[in-house]
Amino acid sequence: MTRLNRPMLQAYLEERTFSAPGVGAPNSRRIGAEAELIPIDAATGRPCPLDDGAGPATLPFLRRFASRQGWVEQRTPKGVPCFAVPTGGSITFEPGGQIEFASLPSRSASTLINRLRGVVLPLRAAAAAEGITLLTVGIDPRNPVEQVPLQLSCDRYVRMAAHFARIGQSGARMMRQTAAFQVSVDFENQPFVRWRLLNALTPFVTAIFANSPVYAGRYTRHRSFRAHCWRLLDPQRTGLPYDEERPVEAYLEFALGAPAILLPTVDGRCDSFDSWLARANPSLDEWEAHLTTLFPEVRPRAHLELRSMDAIDPAWYPAALAMVAGLVYEPRAREAALDLLPAPDLGLLERAVRVGLADSAIARTASDLFELALSGCAALGTKFLQPVHLEEARTYFERYTRVARSPANELKVRAVAA
């Protein structure tokens, strides 16, 4: 077996992580999304168990719902139950029992919106009829992590849980209690322009869609407590591994420096992949698996995956998708956004996580960026984003971003009132 080395791993990233042969042509403009939901027992406010439990459980409910919808139950490579959706995509579970719908990428943002809503809205309605509330917030606002067990015991999640527990509680909260809305776009023929754009956009997207200021029944002093947990779970595998002059090399250093969770522990701890490379002979399969345990705000995976939004109510899917697509895919909006955005900045991200649009400088830039995104979507045409969806995105902008607010403001008021 060929022994891996740094030049080989850098070539791997260049050829298979930061590019996607066959789909990188100009004007492909695919967009995808993953929508996560947190199942809560409507009667008690406690997390729903995946299977057996005193209250309603999500897996039996999903099996009943799937049989009516024509979904096919399968198993993921981790051995976890999942459901194939005939319209494209799949329903899977996160380690704490959160439900995720991952749609197939679409060449139209409106097609994607309709696919997402076509699954999530009936699912939420059916769950409510069986006593399950599917929350669309960044973190379970009521329950402390001690009340949410790890519900998936596959080797990957057990190893992750053990590693994160050595650092603090944020890893457990992330795995068991958080939910996000992730948007994916193609590299096309501009991989590093879009890499810079999305990394620089991260603080503003976090602030615009923040809705998780409440945790364990208390206001946390973070507009996105979900994002705060992600920042703390393991700084060696999160954040903004960006370097304008050396984008691939910087990501390689990030990947090599991250503890290799899926490889054996050494004296009870996980060594970096770089250490394994120096003293052992890890395989390409192990390298590929290691890359899946990295959680930067923007993850390259033969496309770009923006991971910075709290879970979003289906009413506002158009706003999230328009914000990303309008800036990434419309050339004039993209160039204007690049001129407006500062360099990717971890300090700015941390401020956005904490104070969000209450920071006047973040609020001004966020408003300008959203306006650019809306104009970009209008220029992309109605085949990409239908007028009704563009208007829904604009409604979000007028209700929240233009006036320096996000849904976190409303949740903060409710928590204070309670």
Residue 98 lies in a domain: yes
pLDDT under 70: residue ranges of the chain:
1, 21-27, 412-418
Residue 78: per-residue pLDDT: 84
Contacts of 305 (CB under 8 A, 6+ apart): 182, 183, 184, 298, 299
Residue 112 lies in a domain: yes
**Helix 317-329 crosses helix 191-208 at what angle (to 10 degrees)?**
150
CATH of the domain at 252: 3.30.590.20
Amino acid at 400: Y
For 51, 234, 235, 394, the CA distances from 286, given in Å and listed in that order, are 31, 20, 21, 45
Q: How many domains does one find in the chain?
A: 1
Which residue, chain included where needed, has tokens 């439990």?
53
What is the reported pTM? 0.95
Residue 18 lies in a domain: no
177 within 8 A of 38, measured Cβ to Cβ: yes
Residue 414 lies in a domain: no
Full 3-state SS string of 257-294: HCECCCCCCECCECCEHHHHHHHCCCCHHHHHHHHCCC
Residue 21: per-residue pLDDT: 60
Radius of gyration of the chain (CA): 21
Residue 170: per-residue pLDDT: 97
What domain range is 395 assigned to? 6-10+29-406
Residue 333: per-residue pLDDT: 98
